[in-house]
Amino acid sequence: MVFQAGSSMNIDYAQREFSTPLRCKEAICIASVTKDGKFLLNMNNVNLLLNILADKKDVAIISMAGAFRTGKSFMLNIFLQYLRGEGAHSSVTSQWGSVIETVREELVSPAWQNENWFGPEDKKLQDGFHWERGMMGLTKGINVWPEIFDVPLENGKGISVMIVDTQGLHDEQCTEDTDHKIMMLSTLLSSHQILNCSNKIEQRDLEFLHTSVEYAKAIAQKKGEHPFQAITFLVRDWNYNHEFEFGEKGGYEFADRSLKKLPANLPEPVKEVKQSIAITFENVYGFLMPLPKKEVQIRGKFRKYACQLTEKILHPKNLIAKKMCGKLMSTNSFLGLVVETSKLFESGNLPPVEKMIKCYGKADNIAVLIQAVSMYT
């Protein structure tokens, strides 16, 4: 089954024969950003995701956005470690995109209570999103990790978990408009958006949520539902644990205070975000992380709270299924949403609200078409 850019979807019915499966160790870039701020959809990579996702139903999409060089990719790799350590089943593709393989890991704990999922303190992250220490941003565009984890739920059903990394904001090589698009696309596609902040929640972090909030308010007014499911304000390198303690409780209290604080000189876009965040997201969380030791060692307090954050986001009881306007969204609808929103962004301008609302409907139509065609392939 193959998507092609444009208004229609073409299907490849050819029978494929695969060689020996080989795990992919690189993220799949589904949308890149040009120097002039335009979004380009990588249709080949969308097809890779289509092959992995086509037979799945409910999906939890965890996306992290925020300033560049603040450790987003590193933290997402800890998320991957958790999903593997608890024994989730994962579907992966080969590095050439021609092989689909389902990896059946032996469940470590049926109740997902394996306290040693990370392993010994000296254990290093073996693979995942590319990261390294330095000044220049590394992640470009919107990237999806190719392992899609099938997680069993207490009700006997299951949910597929997808991890998404995004290009860092505030990069000197990108325009402010591009940053708004990255944040907007990340928020649109995710069921749980993590806004990665350094030291505190800054005005510029909230400014880039403004466009998402404007869309959300319009959608909520028309549909009567929360447009987005959840956001966590993740504050890294927190230095004031004597005022707000590390972890979820202190993070919620700090985020709540920060969002309610409305000084007279506050820029209007930031004020609108603070006043409308509860309309935009069904759930608003916070989390405070300590500073890691040198060489980004996953030890001590950093390890403790990194594990707490990971379990808060990814434990089966905490997973949040992606919805569109109150309706559960299948993985096929997710792919349709990627296609439709990227086409709107390719023009170089932020699309009008009305077009975005229509985009949601088109995404659902593509999902129906994928499902119908898959019955005959």
Tens digits of residue pLDDT in 186-234: 888 899 999 999 899 989 889 889 888 888 888 777 777 788 899 999 9
| 4 is a domain residue | no
In single-letter form, the type of residue at position 286 comes to G
CB 124 within 8 A of CB 150: no
Residue 271: is its pLDDT beyond 80?
yes
Lowest mean pLDDT among 62-66, 87-91, 164-168, 185-189: 87-91
| 216 is a domain residue | yes
| 365 is a domain residue | yes
| 244 is a domain residue | yes
In angstroms, the CA 59 to CA 229 distance is 12
In angstroms, the CA 247 to CA 255 distance is 12
The 3-state DSSP class for residue 244 equals coil
Q: Which domain holds residue 281?
A: 28-374
| 204 is a domain residue | yes
Q: Which token pair is 68?
A: 């560049």
Domain count, the chain: 1
Q: Among all chains, which residue has been given the structure tokens 């060689």?
A: 19
The answer for residues whose C-beta is within 8 angstroms of residue 38's C-beta and 6 or more apart is 345, 346, 347, 348
**Confidence band (pLDDT; 50, 70, 90) for 126?**
low
245: left (phi over 0), alpha (psi -120 to 50) or beta: beta
Top mean-pLDDT range of 126-140, 162-176, 213-227: 213-227
Q: Cα-flanking dihedrals φ and ψ of residue 291, to 5°?
A: -75, 130
Q: What's the pTM value of the predicted model, to 2 decimals?
A: 0.81
CATH number for position 191: 3.40.50.300
| 21 is a domain residue | no
Residue 109 vs residues 34, 59, 117, 235, 305: alpha-carbon distances, Å: 45, 22, 10, 30, 21
CB 213 within 8 A of CB 274: no
Residues belonging to the chain: 377
| 118 is a domain residue | yes
Cβ–Cβ contacts within 10 Å for residue 17, how many? 5
